Structures are given as structure tokens and as C-alpha cells.
Chain A
Amino acid sequence: MKPFLCLRTLATVVIGLAHFGLGAADWTSGMKEGSPEFKSMGPITFGPDGILFIADTKAAAVIALATGDTQAAKDFQPLKIEGINQKIAALLGTSTDQILIDDLAVNPVSRQSYLAVSRGTGPNAIPVLLKVSPNGQLSAVSMEKVRFSRTELHNAPADALVGNGDRKRNLRMESITDVAFYQDRVLVAGLSNEEFASTLRTIPFPFPGAATAAGTAGVEIYHGAHGQFETRSPVRTFVPMNIGNKPTLFAAYTCTPLVEIPLSDLKAGAKVKGKTIAELGNRNRPIDMIVYRKDGKDFLLLANSSRGIMKISTDGIEAADSITSPVGGGGIKGQPFQTIDGWTGVDQLDKYDAAHALVLRKSEGGVQVLESRDLP
């Protein structure tokens, strides 16, 4: 068994490198120039060469936008914008109650921060992409004559139509809860508003044509509770990283366990059970997750609804066993982690540079603050 595994791992790495080498030269292949249309925006994430991936939940699509924002950032300057939502409202000619900041992504090269914003809160809301320069300048990202490509997640099945005659409607929608780029693929987590199931899709990038759309079929994600129960488990937020040269996905479920999933397991149609590495506890909702390196060690930083922010060590995570017995009494088990006080009210989180995170957080009176913070 072991030699087979080694060979397979080696093959995966070689194929991965081949893809990487091939794609690195031309990430914009298959892109066209024009004005991409959006029904909604967010989540968003950066890929290579200033390419921003924008999930459009309402259109069930992911758009890859070549922002052309590829100039390397200068030295770090702290960023703090009090009332970022007020500034956005002014820019878009409206009031703060008509502004929703749906996601935040930092271009790792230029350190410009991109915000997926909804102007309006109803079904006719207008999605807008904004950016914040490292010196705090807020501006709109033009969608005129840009280079982009687009992939449809799936066509809603005709079976989803309910009602009769002209009143036939499709009420089913899959919300995209997170999106990430890893090496040569885009990972997309979705949650349906009807069946309770989590779908994680792996889409090759540059996006394939329609003929290979089957490659985007989802993987069903399960959670095994202590070897006793198994349930379908929607993924709230995830982050890919290498653990001992093994491409790995760290995912936080909506029911709060933090799990590890080898990326090689994510094959179309597969049923995947994550290995529980931490249980984050009750009254808590995972929001966003990043990875970073400090003092030669890798850490996960997880923003939560009620516990501030958690710094989770990945030390020995590869060899760690899945948590196999219930963790009662408010206790915490699994990978060691530390709760960082003072990072409360975080709505969005991304890595700003090697030593800093960028957070969007709530302040007094509905005011939101965008600021860089030292990574703990």
C-alpha cells in the first residue's frame, strides 16, 4: 500500500508542477476583451498575475478578471480607513444602509485591496467592485474593455422549476460561500437554499471550455463525528496550503469543526470526509480564514463570530489523529490554538502581506473600519 501511495503522490506532484509550468506562462489564455456582466459579486479571491476571481452567486458563475494590477507594492504602510462604509456610500451616491460589503481580497503583489460591494439590498441591487490603494485611496474598478473569462457552475436543472404554466419559477439557488485559487485550479464552496448539502468544486484554470465542464462536478463533503456519526457538512470557509508538500485544504464547517482534506481527494463525484483537527465550540460561527508563516512555522488564522480570532498551529497537523471523542464542557481539543483578544467584530479578513492581515470590522454605530493589523 505504501509504495503505491508514494508513487501516486509523486505523480500528483509531477502533474501539478507540469500544469503549473504550463499555465504560468499564459494565465490569460482563453480570456476575451469586453465588459463582464454581473448579477452579484462575492466572494472574491486573487490568483496569479493580478487575476481576480469573482463569484457571482445569482448567475451561478465565476469570472476571472485580469485587473492588470501587477505592479509590486512598496514598503508596508499601515492602512486604516474609519467609516469605509460611509465613504463607499458617498462614492456610490447612497446611504450606508444601502451598502453591503460582501467580500474583501488583497492583491498579494500590489497590496491593493478589492471590495465586492452591493449597492442596494433588494433583488435589483447593483454589484460594484471597488479598490483601496495602500495609501487609502478608494476608487471604482472599471469593467469597461477588460480582459476576462467566465465559467458557469452548473445549469439549474429543469426539475427545479415549480409552479404551473407562466408561474413556473426556480426558487433554488446555490450560495457561493467561499472561493480560493490553488496552483492551477479554482476551488468553490456552495450551499443550496433547499437540499442540505455542501458542494465543493474544483475548476481547472485557465477555465476549460464547455466540453470539459464535467470536470467542475462537485464533491460532497461529510463530517464524521467521533467515529459514531456521519453527516453532510456545508463548508463555511476554507484555505488551501501545503502541509509537508501535500496540497491540503483546511475547511471550517458551518457546524464549527475545523477539518483537513487532502486536495487530491477532491475528485468529481467523490464523497469526502474531512479529518477533524479542532472543534471550535458553541455560539461560534466561522467567518474567514487565512494562512501565514511566522518564526518558521505555519499558522491558520480564523475569524469567528463570537470568539475574536483564533491562531491555530499547524505543527504536527499532518500526523495528528482525527478527534475521536466528544469534547464536552466548553473545552477545546485538537490542534493547539490561541484566541487573540481585541480582534472582535471582524466581518472580513485577508492577508495583507507577510506580516500583516487586513480586516474589515464593525465599530460603533454601524461604522465599519478597514485596517491592517500585525499578524499575531
Chain B
Amino acid sequence: MGSAAPDTIQWQRVLAVYAEPVMPSASTRLFDQVTQPAMLGSHLVTGERLQFTPSFPLQPSIQYRAVLRPQALPGVKTNDDANNNIILSKVLRIPAILASATTRVSAVHPSEGKLPENLLKFYIQFSGSMSRGRSYENIRLIEESTRQVVELPFLELDEELWDRDMTRLTVLLDPGRIKRGVKPLVDTGPALQAGKTYSLVIDSHWLDAQGAPLLETHRKTFEVIPADRQTADPAAWTLHLPTSGTQRPIAADFGEAMDHALAARCIRVLDRHGERVEGAVQLEQQDHIWVFEPKHPWQPGKYRLEIQSIIEDLAGNNIGKPFDVKLDDPAQQIPFRQRVWREFEIR
């Protein structure tokens, strides 16, 4: 049976493991030159055996140097010359794994080819999990006529807006360059200008969660059209209704592209009792059309779409509220409602 190392002996001084990047010069390094702290871990004494268990898994491209200093044991005479005191050192080198590229950009939303000057965000969807910390170094916006890289078009947040699996990154365009009357827009103008063509370039050097680069550089080229300052209006959506007894889908045509993530989750179907109708949602035609396929055949009667007002179009305009509300326009001063409904009947 082993026992946890007693606190009275500083086992870390007896046996320490140092993590060092694998470099040609590292093998010639003298132990007394070790200036970095030893790796965290726990010591266990089993009979005459001293065992070190690192707190974290060992990693490729790192060499782990175990250094035994028996003179640190109680009762062992010390010697001033540190090098002579080292009885044993052993290096465990974990070879680098050349991870092969398997991850690619699987989609960029909005997927449309024409985007408003006040576009608020891009969603970059990857086929696998990515790494964080250097995202903004790998995304750039290029103005196509001059081939110039647009300076600081994005809101570069250290947090980086990923989902939990890190397969989707939300990239906000700098709101300071979209909001009217705010200093960055006044001084430098918008990041995107109507009439010009831009490319969002996602560099293949970006590393995925396995440390491998992307399969290829992804480029989304789009034309910029004038700013969209209209609120989203479900009353103006065109509904395509199925007939009762079928399981055919209902479709709502927004008349414009809506925010991909919000359109997919902010609309649901309620029956005449206000109960949620089960089914599957899809967005079609570059997020212009919301399609709902019911799990069970439609019953005749009244239904309604319940829409959360936080749903956004591509410029962040909500239902009943534009992205930037013009305070002297009474039409834009309507109180914000959490939800709105659009009724329909299945015959």
C-alpha cells in the first residue's frame, strides 16, 4: 500500500519534473540552469519507491526532465556544488504529433451575396472544434477593388464568442462603426461601404483544437448594399400554408435574410390551445425562409406563430425596434414587447 508523502519532507525538492519545449539545445542544458518552476503534481511513497504523478496530462512536443536530488532527503549531507549532487536525471520526450488537417470552414452566415452596410455579425461554422486565443489574427476583411485589408473592422473581444463545443465563432462588426453618432463611426466611417465588394478571409493557418491547421483558406466574397434601418415585421412575412391531414411543412418568407442563429430558435408554432406544436425547423434560401415540418399531421384549425422580438435581421434590427432608434421619430418609440404573434389557419 502506498501512502501520501508526508508533509514533513519536501518531496518536490527530492524529485521534481520540469517541462521544457523540445529544442535541439535543450539536451545540453545544465540542471542548475533550470529557472522555470517544476511541474505541478503529487508525490507518493510506496515502500522504497517514490512516485510523482503530474497534475496534468503529458503533452506532445514537450520534454519532461525528472531530476532526483537525494541530498534533499533528511539526513543526507549537502554539498555546495549543485551539479555533483544530482544523482539521476531522466528525460522523457513526447514526440510532436503532426496533426493532419481535417477541419474546414463548413459555413459562413449570412450566406447571402449582398449584405447591408450596417451588417452586425458573421457566424463562422467549422466542421470540428477550434482553438481560441488567436482568432482575430486569422480573420480579415479585404476591400476587393483596392485589395486593401480593412483596418479593425471587428469587435475584438478577448473572450471570443464561441459556442461550448467551439465549432462556431460569432464575429461582431465593430458596433462603434455602425452606430450613428458614435465617435469611431464619425471619425473613421463604417467598416463596410455600400457599392463596394469585400471578402471575408478565414486563414488556413488557424489551428483547430488538435493543433492542426485548417484544410484550406475560406473566402466569402460579397457586395455591400445600403444600410438596412427597417424593423423586422412578421405581419409582412408571406406564409405558405399546408393543408390539414398532411405533414407538409409551413413556410414563412421573411422577404429578407434574417440572423441565422436567431431565426432558427426564436419562432415556434402554437396550436389554438397555446400548446407548442412539435416539429423540425430549417432555414432555406440563404435564411430568407423559415420552414417548419410538424411531427404529426396538421389538424384543421387556428394556429399562430409566436416570435420572440429579439429576432434580428442582418443589421440587428428587431421586431418593433431598429438597431439604432432615432429618438425624434415617434414611430420608433413603440414599447418593446417580448413576443409577437402571427395567426394562421390550416384548412
User: When chains A and B are docked, how far (Å) is the Cα of A124 from the Cα of B56?
Assistant: 12
Q: Is B179 an interface residue (CB 8 A)?
A: yes
Contact B324 A230 (CB under 8 A): yes
Which of these, B62, B131, B308, contacts A122 with CB under 8 Å? B131
Q: Give the distance to chain B from A84, nearest Cβ to Cβ, in Å.
A: 11
Contact A282 B188 (CB under 8 A): yes
Q: Give the distance to chain A from B91, nearest Cβ to Cβ, in Å.
A: 14
User: When chains A and B are docked, how far (Å) is the Cα of A286 from the Cα of B188?
Assistant: 18
User: When chains A and B are docked, how far (Å) is the Cα of A57 from the Cα of B55?
Assistant: 23
Which of these, B133, B156, B159, B280, contacts A305 with CB under 8 Å? B156
Q: Is B183 an interface residue (CB 8 A)?
A: yes
For A329, the chain B residues whose CB sits under 8 A away are 187
Q: Is A98 an interface residue (CB 8 A)?
A: yes
User: When chains A and B are docked, how far (Å) is the Cα of A285 from the Cα of B165?
Assistant: 27
Q: List 28 A-B contacts (CB under 8 A).
A: A57-B159, A90-B19, A92-B40, A93-B17, A93-B19, A93-B40, A94-B19, A121-B132, A121-B209, A122-B132, A122-B209, A124-B209, A159-B268, A162-B261, A162-B265, A171-B164, A193-B170, A194-B261, A196-B172, A229-B324, A229-B325, A231-B175, A254-B176, A279-B182, A283-B184, A285-B156, A326-B186, A330-B187
> Could you tell me which residues of chain A, from 143 to 186, have a CB within 8 Å of some CB in chain B?
159-162, 164, 169-173, 175-177
Contact A177 B209 (CB under 8 A): no
Query: Which of A10-18, A219-227, A241-249, A289-297 forms part of the interface with chain B?
Result: A219-227
Which of these, B161, B172, B268, B327, contacts A224 with CB under 8 Å? B327
Q: Give the distance to chain A from B24, nearest Cβ to Cβ, in Å.
A: 16
User: When chains A and B are docked, how far (Å) is the Cα of A114 from the Cα of B259?
Assistant: 39
User: When chains A and B are docked, how far (Å) is the Cα of A283 from the Cα of B150?
Assistant: 12
User: When chains A and B are docked, how far (Å) is the Cα of A231 from the Cα of B161?
Assistant: 20
Which of these, A92, A93, A327, contacts B64 with CB under 8 Å? A93
User: When chains A and B are docked, how far (Å) is the Cα of A347 from the Cα of B207?
Assistant: 22
Contact A195 B312 (CB under 8 A): yes
User: When chains A and B are docked, how far (Å) is the Cα of A161 from the Cα of B38?
Assistant: 44
> Could you tell me which residues of chain A, from 212 to 236, have a CB within 8 Å of some CB in chain B?
223-231, 233-234, 236
Contact A138 B37 (CB under 8 A): yes
For A31, the chain B residues whose CB sits under 8 A away are none
Q: Is B303 an interface residue (CB 8 A)?
A: no
Contact A255 B175 (CB under 8 A): yes
Contact with B along A93-134 (1 / 0, CB 8 A): 111001010100000000000000001011110100000000
For B120, the chain A residues whose CB sits under 8 A away are 196
> Could you tell me which residues of chain B, from 107 to 142, have a CB within 8 Å of some CB in chain A?
120-121, 129-133
For A177, the chain B residues whose CB sits under 8 A away are 157, 159
Q: Give the distance to chain A from B289, nearest Cβ to Cβ, in Å.
A: 16
Interface centre among B38, B40, B188, B280 (most CB of A within 10 A): B40
Contact B184 A229 (CB under 8 A): no
Q: Is B168 an interface residue (CB 8 A)?
A: yes
Contact B183 A279 (CB under 8 A): yes
Among residues of B, the one whose C-beta sits closest to the C-beta of A165 is B280
Contact B181 A229 (CB under 8 A): yes
User: When chains A and B are docked, how far (Å) is the Cα of A122 from the Cα of B39?
Assistant: 21
Contact B62 A225 (CB under 8 A): no
Which of these, A98, A172, A254, contacts B59 with CB under 8 Å? A98
Among residues of A, the one whose C-beta sits closest to the C-beta of B333 is A230
Q: Apart from A255-B174, A282-B184, A326-B183, what are 13 other A-B pairs with CB-CB below 8 Å?
A: A89-B19, A91-B38, A121-B132, A122-B209, A140-B55, A164-B280, A172-B163, A194-B262, A230-B324, A233-B175, A254-B175, A255-B184, A279-B182
Contact B37 A91 (CB under 8 A): yes
Q: Is B54 an interface residue (CB 8 A)?
A: yes
User: When chains A and B are docked, how far (Å) is the Cα of A231 from the Cα of B316?
Assistant: 10
Q: Is A281 an interface residue (CB 8 A)?
A: yes
> Could you tell me which residues of chain B, from 179 to 230, have a CB within 8 Å of some CB in chain A?
179-184, 186-188, 207-210
Which of A's residues lie within 8 Å of B, judged by CB?
Answer: 57-58, 86-87, 89-95, 98, 100, 102, 119, 121-124, 126, 138, 140, 159-162, 164, 169-173, 175-177, 191, 193-197, 223-231, 233-234, 236, 254-257, 279-285, 287, 305, 326-330, 347
For A327, the chain B residues whose CB sits under 8 A away are 183, 186
Q: Give the distance to chain A from B148, nearest Cβ to Cβ, in Å.
A: 16
> Could you tell me which residues of chain B, from 17 to 35, have a CB within 8 Å of some CB in chain A?
17-21
- Number of residue pairs across A and B with beta carbons under 8 Å? 207
Q: Give the distance to chain B from A41, nearest Cβ to Cβ, in Å.
A: 12
Q: Give the distance to chain B from A80, nearest Cβ to Cβ, in Å.
A: 15
Q: Is B61 an interface residue (CB 8 A)?
A: yes
User: When chains A and B are docked, how far (Å) is the Cα of A194 from the Cα of B263?
Assistant: 10
Which of these, A86, A173, A226, A233, contacts B161 with CB under 8 Å? A173
Contact A230 B182 (CB under 8 A): no
Contact B164 A328 (CB under 8 A): no
User: When chains A and B are docked, how far (Å) is the Cα of A195 from the Cα of B261?
Assistant: 9
Q: Is B254 an interface residue (CB 8 A)?
A: no
Which of these, B20, B64, B163, B310, contacts A197 with CB under 8 Å? B310
> Could you tell me which residues of chain B, from 254 to 312, have a CB within 8 Å of some CB in chain A?
259, 261-262, 264-266, 268, 280-281, 308, 310, 312
Among residues of B, the one whose C-beta sits closest to the C-beta of A123 is B166
Interface centre among A119, A195, A305 (most CB of B within 10 A): A195
Given contacts A255-B176, A282-B187, A328-B187, contact A93 B37 (CB under 8 A): no
Given contacts A87-B37, A93-B56, A162-B281, contact A194 B180 (CB under 8 A): no
For A257, the chain B residues whose CB sits under 8 A away are 182-183
Contact with A along B221-264 (1 / 0, CB 8 A): 00000000000000000000000000000000000000101101
